[in-house]
Structure 1
């Protein structure tokens, strides 16, 4: 008897959600559904649209963002796609949605198991596109070195070919003294090649090392017996104090740093 009541209650909730979804589609053109992980069904939060199928367009889904954020993103992307009247294709960049000119990327979904309400409304999922977001360095889940793995943003389709990533190569040293010996051999700062991103970022790392060594040597009164990570952190903190003293905007500087770094490791700058 108790189980029957639970089943009836769940059926009533499901019918209410379905009616509400259909009402949203009739009023707005589509609805966005948010799904939270539970102990019974763990995973990441995700959101997806219902209603774009009726316009001959793929439904949209996004994984790993807070449901409210995912809702906002999908509404903006859906509006762009509906206005264009053209389905998003795998590898297509989606701009003017995230701050700081960060682009999203579309991936056609081969696994649409999660899009239950689409099947409830239309009988099946004709087509769906996952809207994928990059990590802090601008790298997408399928790209080398991305910090966004399946446990954060699972991708339910085949992403496009990953872009090459050109991070500065690890220097074979552990101490500031060894760093000084390595970069001390550089007679002059040299110039960027513009055509070889790996060589250019290796050179940029050495330029940064020069500034770091000057700071470390000054504080050590000419000695370089400091610990690398601690001293580098202290240098960044002191730079922030300098920004305060000069009346410069630290947050704007960090945004510019991130944009430049992302472009440099992707060979775009």
Structure 2
């Protein structure tokens, strides 16, 4: 749905329905996964911040892969594990390695829009997040020479820059 082309009342009704679904899903499962099929596609968690952990964001994967990765890591967070930058990860059952980087969502429109609304946050004080960067089939990351995936599939993380 292209919210920008809908009248304001329809936009609000859509957000109200999405917010109700988020509240219910986070209450039942501890988190939800939001997916955007843009260019590039991306997905992120909503609910991990309520467990004292940054939300997680991943670009460039399809819906099924994104949901699998985020749900797998979310389950580990619910079990008490904490992830942070600089600690490479492997997930049992997935051939890729992951690197985590701080992601600052202090711009408009917010990338993690549903998470920002869920926690009543905004650009001045966004929900903390970590961006997951995954390697290609040969184990190379976007910053490595010979990386095979298309440029822009995994945008560089947006760290917080002090003003």
Q: Provide the TM-score with structure 2 as the length reference.
A: 0.81
Residue number in structure 2 paired with 1:31: 32
* Structure 1 counterpart of 2:42: 46
Partner of 1:109: 103
Counterpart contact for 1:132–1:140, Cα < 8 Å: yes
8 Å Cα contact 1:130/1:155 also seen in 2: no
Residues 109, 127 of structure 1: 8 Å contact kept:
yes
How much has 1:120 moved relative to structure 2?
Answer: 0.4
Change (3 A) 1:59 1:96: same
Q: Is the 8 A contact 2:89 2:98 kept in 1?
A: yes
Contact 2:57/2:130, CA 8 A, preserved across alignment: yes
- Which protein is richer in helix relative to its size? 1
Q: Match of 2:64?
A: 68
Gaps of 5+ in 1: 38-42, 159-269
Instruction: Assess if the C-alpha contact under 8 Å between 1:47 and 1:61 holds in 2.
Output: yes
CA RMSD of aligned residues (A): 1.9
Other structure's SS at 1:123 match: coil
DSSP-derived class of the 2:7 partner: helix
Cα deviation for residue 149 of structure 1 reads: 5.0
Number of matched pairs: 147
Match of 2:119 among 113, 118, 122: 122
Contact 1:73 1:97 in 2 (8 A): no
* Misfit runs of 4+, over 4 Å: none
Instruction: Give the match's secondary structure for 1:49.
Output: strand
CA offsets 1:29-69 (integer angstroms, 9 cap, x no match) = 011001112xxxxx211100111111110000100011222
**How far did 1:110 drift?**
2.8
Task: Give yes or no for contact 2:115–2:127 (8 Å, CA) kept in 1.
Answer: no
| Cα pair 1:76 1:97 within 8 Å, conserved | no
Q: Distance in 1 between matches of 2:152 and 2:127?
A: 27
CA-CA distance at 1:70 after TM superposition = 0.5
- Listed as ranges, the gaps of 5+ residues in structure 2 are 1-5
Does 1 or 2 have the higher relative contact order (CA < 8 Å, sep 6+)?
A: 2
SS at match of 2:34: strand
Instruction: Tell me the alpha carbon deviations over residues 83-102 of structure 1, each in whole angstroms, 9 at most, x when there is no partner.
Output: 2342x2112122224534x3
Q: CA deviation at 1:103?
A: 1.9
Greater Rg, structure 1 or structure 2?
1
Residues 105 and 131 of structure 1 are in contact (CA less than 8 Å); yes or no, is this contact kept in structure 2? yes
